[in-house]
Amino acid sequence: MKLLNTALFQALLNSVALVVCAAEPDPLVQVVGGQIKGRLIPDGGAAFKGVPFAQPPVGDLRWREPAPVKDWTGVRDAGAFGPACTQQNRQQQTSQEDCLYLNLWTPDWPPKSPKPVMVWLHGGGNAMGRASVGYLDGTSLSRRGVILVTINYRLGVFGFLVHPGLTAESPHHSSGNYGLLDQLAVLKWVRENIAKFGGDPGNVTLFGQSAGAIDTSILVASPLSKGLIHRSIQESGPPLRQLGPVAQEEKVGVKFAESLKAPAGAAEAVKFLRSVSTADLQKASEAAKLRPDGVLARPVIDGWVMPRYPAYSYQDGQELPIPMIVGNNAREQAWIYKLEEMKQVIADNFGSLAPKAEEFYGLNKSALGNDDPLLGPASTQLTADTRHRCGAVAEAIWRSSHGRTTYEYQFDPPIAGEPATKHEAEIPFVFGNLLPSGPLSGPFGEADKKISADIQQYWVNFAKTGNPNSNGLPTWSKFDPKARPYLEFTLHDGPLLREGLRRDVCDMFIEALKETIPSGSVAFKLGL
């Protein structure tokens, strides 16, 4: 009998696996609200998608703390992603306000021994983004021994509007931060339900990228997170962004309401705004130009979720005393500044040290400044240094100075086929989804697969124990303020332990924080 070729034989095996999987009953779990039906994953595990963790924040629930889900009858299907939250990206035609759903992957079914839990917050400036994209599929990462949860949370004007009418009706005398409250609601859902999926509610890692990392840093500094977060990973998002107090942000909310011709009274204005359609509210928020940076609504120092500017909590050692990984990509946003624009960004971020910083970036030699083969042109270096890299160094210094276990990294590899790394390039590697098409896709080679395997294992090791080391990986030393060790993920040489990431310029940046974040105000101009 003729032997089957390898490809055909593998295809037959896959078909058999699918048939066996289809013959097994779909997994059923009783959660808060009722029973849900997920899907078995070929080769083991199960996925549950579109699981509600709060009531739809619509009508009178718009701009309120997320309300507990209402009980449903029968079995709710959890086989497909829920819709993305309403957002400014016009390509998201299916986004809507009814969007508070989570997705969950487990490596085995039925569940065996309790496993650590990882909860992912997507990026997008708290104005865009969603959990239901191919590169965020949780199968690969969960198979390394964790329960993985991804979520949607309210964005933009729906997630962060501040208005005196909303402040007045709040029992906490705050408004805004509804997106952060959604994230807290998920963490509470995990505490109450995750054991039924084989997860350990006492071992939860919150991790995210960009705005998701910034939100992670905020929640780690929030008193409302106590007992809900046990480790955290911040990818390209330190706790240094432009944030204002409620009283300041209320003025923006009032101007926005006026742009929609809302009644003058605070309570009447809120009632009117809740009557405006989703589409019209989103359209008005995109048209409103009420700030120089164009950001209408963002996290706010509200005295409740965020009692103070988060950087102060890290400086003082008052954030959660949990293990943390912080880091950035070698290049982030490739913004091209003109000379005067670069000088303004330097002035905003380096204060009286601006002349020294201009010299560091080579602006005294050329209008374009110094170029670097890894970090890019001076404008790209400046963006990464001031928005991501030096903030992560500052955070690591503050935390380690207070005895907090902290690890720092830098990610160098580009998305396959692109000339250099960029903001969010690490995400498909972290999730193990090196896809041939779609956003953040390849083609990827063996070197990429090796990097992905390494970073996934470091992240999972950390989620399990608070230490990323083991499984034969190169040693990653804890951060200390003197040597400042960090792990550099490289394309061909593997993870390399180095010291003093951008020490010269980051020392200037950290010294300048005494001027750029004075008490009572925040001088950063770059926004989220």
CATH number of the domain encompassing residue 347: 3.40.50.1820
Does pLDDT of 465 surpass 90? yes
149-172: pLDDT as tens digits = 999 999 999 999 999 999 999 999
297 lies in some domain:
no
The per-type count for the chain, helices as H runs and strands as E runs, is: 17, 14
122 is catalytic: no
Catalytic pick from 65, 250, 332, 408? 332
Beta bridge partners of 48: 104
Would residue 506 count as lying in a domain? yes
**How confident is residue 1, by pLDDT bands cut at 50, 70 and 90?**
very low
Q: Tell me the pLDDT tens digit for each residue of 400-426.
A: 999 999 999 999 999 988 989 999 999
Tell me which of 132, 423, 424, 426 is the catalytic residue.
423
Q: Catalytic site residue 332? A: yes
SS3 of 430-449: HHCCCCCCCCCCCCCCHHHH
Higher-confidence residue: 290 or 5?
Answer: 290
The CA-atom distances, in angstroms, between 148 and each of 132, 235, 244, 347, 520 are 13, 17, 33, 42, 38
- Give me the catalytic one of 132, 210, 225, 236: 210
Contacts of 523 (CB under 8 A, 6+ apart): 348, 515, 516, 517
Tell me how crowded residue 72 is: count the other CB atoms within 10 A of its CB. Answer: 12
Residue 528, domain extent: 323-528
Q: Determine phi and psi for 410, rounding to 5 degrees.
A: -135, 135
* φ, ψ (nearest 5 deg) of residue 358: -60, -40
CA–CA gap between residue 181 and residue 190 (Å, rounded): 14
What's the domain count of the chain?
1
Rounded CA-CA distance 477/469 in Å is 9
In a domain, 445, yes or no: yes
- Whether residue 522 lies inside any domain: the answer is yes
Q: What is the mean pLDDT of residues 143-147?
A: 97
The mean per-residue pLDDT over the stretch 198-222 comes to: 98
Residue 454 forms part of a structural domain: yes
CB atoms within 10 A of CB 68: 13
The answer to whether 313 is a known catalytic residue is no
Does the pTM exceed 0.95? Answer: no
Residue 375 placed within a domain? yes
Residue 504 falls inside a structural domain:
yes
Residue 455 pLDDT exceeds 50: yes
Q: Is the pLDDT of residue 85 over 50?
A: yes
Is residue 191 included in any domain, yes or no? no
Per-residue pLDDT band for 18 (boundaries 50, 70, 90) equals very low
End-to-end CA distance of the chain: 65
